[in-house]
Amino acid sequence: MAGKITGLRSRYPLHIQIAALFTLLIVSIGSVIVLFSHSQLSKLTETSTNRQYQKTGEAIAAELDSVTRSMKMSAKMLARMPITEATTLEQRMAFIGPLIEILKQNDYANAVYSAYPNGDFFILRRLTPANRALFNAPEDAEWLAQSYRFLETSPQAQNIFLDGKQQVMAVKTVPYNNYDPRERTWYQLAVKTQQLITSPLYTFKGTGETGFTYSIQAPDGHAVIGLDVSLASLSLFLQQSLPPDSQAAIINSANEAIASLPAQNTKSQDGLNSIAHIPVLQALLDPHHGASGLFTAQGQSWFGAVVELKGQSQGYQLVIATPSAYLTADANAIRNRSTLIAFALLLLGLPLVWYFSLRISRPLIRLRQDADAISNLHFDERAEERSVIEEVDDLHKAMSKMKLTLKQFISMGSLLSAKDNFPQQMQGLLNETSKIANMSGGIIFLSDKTPGCFSPIACNWAGKEVASSEVASLQFDPQHFSAFWQILEGKTVAGVFTNENIPSQLHTIFGSHLPLHYVAVPMQTHDRELMGFLLLLNPAEAGPEHGQAKVQLINALVGSLSVAIETQYLLQEQKHLMGAFIQLIAGAIDAKSAYTGGHCQRVPVITKMLAKAAVEAKQGPFADFTLSANEWEELHTACWLHDCGKITTPEAIVDKATKLEMIYDRIHEVRMRFEVLKRDKEVSFLRKHATIAATEQEEQWLRDELQQLDEDFYFIAQCNIGGEFLSDSALARIQQIAQYQWTRTLDDTAGVAREELARKNRRPAVPLPTQEPLLADKEEHIIYRDEKSHLPESYHFKLKEPTLLYNHGEIYNLGIRRGTLSEEERYKINEHIIQTIIMLEKLPFPRTMANVAVIAGGHHERMDGKGYPYQLTHQQMSIPVRMMAIADVFEALTAADRPYKPGKLLSEALNILVSMANENHLDRELMILFLESGIWHDYALSYLQADKIDTVDIPALLRKLEIPDCQPTN
């Protein structure tokens, strides 16, 4: 027990306990008096409120009767107006003025209309903030006339908007919403009764509001006049003469609320407002409660009453409830004033007590706040709090110094992550280190490639930064070894620089400040390799010799510098390695084929020239285009790797210069067959005429046959080149020549590889010798596509995949219409972009290079969505992707190392590019920038042969792109 009391006293000071007890006594006595007075005043207020409710009910009943009488009279008057006989929209619009006057005279009516036996419907609505958006009304419109007419062809619906002067502002034809007034209850009741009727509550179709309608049929029976009254507008009744925050409703015998305060948006299942959805009033109507008095609803105390509205034939009742807090407000005010008076004397004495206690405790409170701030790493710049107690004051000074040191430590950490520029990062770290160590200046030296040589990267003195270029590099001189150079052994060195021992390189900048205390701390990697050192300096007269504590502090600070430098070195080495690896892959792709060598190196040049021109553009579509340093690096990487998938493309397809070429050109095999055919004919001729001399006609026949074989071979050889488009007649001649027969006497399965043998074994062996066609598409020529050869479905590529992997048939390949590649081989060439995407998406690129695969894999897409592999459109392609597409095509057109074509003239290449832009193959705006900036000219001077650089009419090309004539920049 004693321990608990001791703990209580140490936690709560005695003067606070006495003050608390004194305050509690005064509060208790005053509370009893105040509560008794409050109870009596509350009862008087309830009696007064009940009388006020009765008067309010009488006033509302009188005004409700006046309002309804006015609206009924308006409906009857309108039924006698000629609008009931109007048959056209123009005739009905002529009555807009009287209709507006009727609405103006009846503030609670929101629409008046005339419905005709043929289904026509003409309505005038009051535009309110609630329905303006529903009807898309113009800003200054105040009235909306809606016309529904049944014409001969189809129903017609129009919205006519009028301003405050009843002038037509806009006429809009709107879709017919199948509204037929003849099917509405108010119409049917009016026709049936021939009297003014009040419809049951229902939901207005036009606005979704709930209300009722006064309707009456015109005496001539030509129309039914209606006047809509929404419950929302009728609820304005209840805003009169009611206490603030009251809830009230006018209900009929079915407990339906025809008006409520606040207005209720919730509807019952039949679409009508129900008192059941006003919880407070529903609780008041509960039979267990009674007709009036205090009750509780929704966790609040209310005073309510149910008042009969006399003079209303519909049997309306006013249900009203007011928060009891409002009724007792005056009583509460008296209670509060009494409470304030009771506590006044107590409060007058408290300031003196609190003044002296706070005067002593404020510095301690500030120390606690500083400790909390430090624990949350929050450091403010508030002025120091002094204390009259010496120990407390000293503790506060020590806390302030610790806070400053920690703040500078954190600032050093922020510098490591905030600055991308390595020299600026080092300069900031040096500045913070100098402040923490309380040194006048310092220099950060980094190791050069030359052993024993150190170059400055950051320098400051007397709080000012000094350009590192003003400080000479330090070179270790073994002839003049001093204690300072023990830094090379990874040791921290401290001492004094004088004219005799300061390195000559430092004497130039610090000679005027000698002698100087110095501390030199090595900066090492995690494996103890020396990266450089930190040299901190202080004037000798600034204080005593540096103690061990100062050296230990500086050693701790150098850890951050070492981490930053080693991290920077590792990042640079990683970037250099990645750059070298990228160029290694690109070089391997170019080296793989002598025909495409240099493509992967030239496309980045064109792309980055175009990107630079777009960034430098000050106006036009690229005025806002920029690339950050990371985006430049991303673009550089994507350019170099844009064809990395070609590693997977067989060399025989990349370099296929003729139609029959595989690993070798099979035209030599075909030539040999022709030679065999010629020898067979000569041998056959010689055998036939070995004993009988040949006639002149027979010899001529032999010469003709041999001549025909020569012509047929040269025709086949010419088709093998794959130059111009192959005609149908040429295809027929190939088929004819293919039917020539030659004799094979040797087994064609002997000495072949296992894969070829497996293909040959697909068909049964034939006895030798056998006759074979000169050219054939054999089963062994077909290589079927296995599971490994199918596209990955997860990538959703849209490039159509051929059925076969390869078809090496001789007739099939010689029949290629244009070029040298078959459908399967063309797909294999195009597949390199798919492989590029797959390969690049598997690489763990850093976040700043996340789009490398997207940029590299999109240069074969087209603006019209007909490219591959994803068939992206212009909007789906980024600007760098569209740039690379132009660069890829331009390099391919001008390259002189393709197996199937010579390089184009510069003018020819640009004309083709312009045509491709006009065909929505390439980006038109980038093509304009490409021409206007002169990129094509700069590239041609560096990479094209001189005979390929001809005169280019840039204005003419720009006119083809459908832009105004302008002059070229080059």
What string of DSSP letters covers 648-715?
GS-HHHHT--STTBSSSBTHHHHHHHHHHHHHHHHHHHHHHTSSSPPPHHHHHHHHHHHHHHHHHHHH
Q: Would you say how long the chain is, in residues?
A: 970
- Distant-in-sequence contacts of 817-825, Cβ < 8 A, 24+ apart: 817/725, 817/726, 818/722, 818/724, 818/725, 818/726, 819/722, 819/900, 820/656, 820/657, 820/658, 820/659, 820/661, 820/722, 820/899, 820/900, 821/653, 821/656, 825/653, 825/656
The structure tokens 């009988």 sit at 692
d(CA 434, CA 439): 5
294 sits in which H/E element: strand 292-297
**Rounded distance, CA 762 to CA 779, Å?**
7
Q: CA–CA separation, 845 vs 853, rounded Å?
A: 9
Residues contacting 879, CB < 8 A, separation 6+: 614, 622, 625, 926
Q: Which of 644, 597, 598, 584 is nearest to 831 (CA)?
A: 644
Task: Give the Cα separation of 610 and 887 in Å (integer).
Answer: 8
Provide the pLDDT for residue 648: 76
Token digits for 33?
């008096």
d(CA 584, CA 553): 47
- pLDDT at position 424 is 76
The rounded distance, in Å, linking the Cα atoms of 80 and 88 is: 18
The conformation of residue 864, written as its DSSP 8-state character, comes to B
CA distances from 666 to 672, 680, 810 (A): 10, 21, 9
What amino acid is encoded at 791 in this protein? L
Amino acid identity of residue 608, one-letter, is K
Separation between Cα atoms, residue 967 and residue 953, nearest integer Å: 10
Residue-level pLDDT at 752: 81
Answer whether 892's CB lies under 8 Å from 860's CB: no
Q: Which residues is 454 bridged to in the sheet?
A: 447, 474
Amino acid letter for position 668 = H
Helix (H) or strand (E) holding 861: none
Distance (Å, whole) CA 949 – CA 229: 85
Rg (CA), the chain: 50
Helices (H), 843-919: 852-856, 879-894, 906-918
Place of tokens 């409002």: 326
Query: CA angle, corner 412, sides to 407 and 556, nearest 5?
Result: 90
Distance in angstroms (rounded) separating the CA atoms of residues 513 and 499: 10
| Residue pointed to by tokens 């009287």 | 98
Token pair of 437 as six digits = 């160590």
For residues 661 and 23, give the distance between their C-alpha atoms in angstroms, rounded to a whole number. Answer: 108
**Dist CA 295 CA 317 (whole Å):** 19
Q: How far apart are CA 867 and CA 873, in angstroms?
A: 9
How far is residue 658's CA from residue 668's CA, in Å, rounded to a whole number? 12
Q: Are 748 and 760 in contact (CB under 8 A)?
A: yes
C-alpha–C-alpha distance, residues 342 and 220, integer Å: 80
In Å, what is the CA distance from 235 to each residue of 245, 323, 435? 15, 19, 73
Distance CA 626, CA 613 (A): 10
Peptide linkage before 964 cis (omega within 30 of 0): no
Low-confidence ranges of the chain (pLDDT < 50): 1-9, 13-15, 17-18, 266-271, 542-546, 964-970
Running DSSP on this structure, what letter comes out for residue 920? T
Q: Is 687 left (phi over 0), alpha (psi -120 to 50) or beta?
A: alpha
Biggest CA–CA distance in the chain, Å, is 157
- The H or E element containing residue 605 is helix 599-616
- Contact between residue 745 and residue 769 where contact means Cβ atoms under 8 Å apart: yes
Q: Is 260 exposed, middle or buried (0-12, 13-18, 19+ CB in 10 A)?
A: buried
Which residues 6+ apart lie within 8 Å of 409 measured at CB? 436
Please list, residue by residue across 847-880, b when 16 or more beta carbons sit within 10 angstroms of its beta carbon and e when fewer do. eebebbbbbbbbbbbbbebebbbbebeeeebebb
Give burial (CB, 10 Å; 0-12/13-18/19+) of 111: buried
pLDDT at site 918: 92
pLDDT at 568: 72
How many distinct helices (H) and strands (E) make up the chain?
29, 25
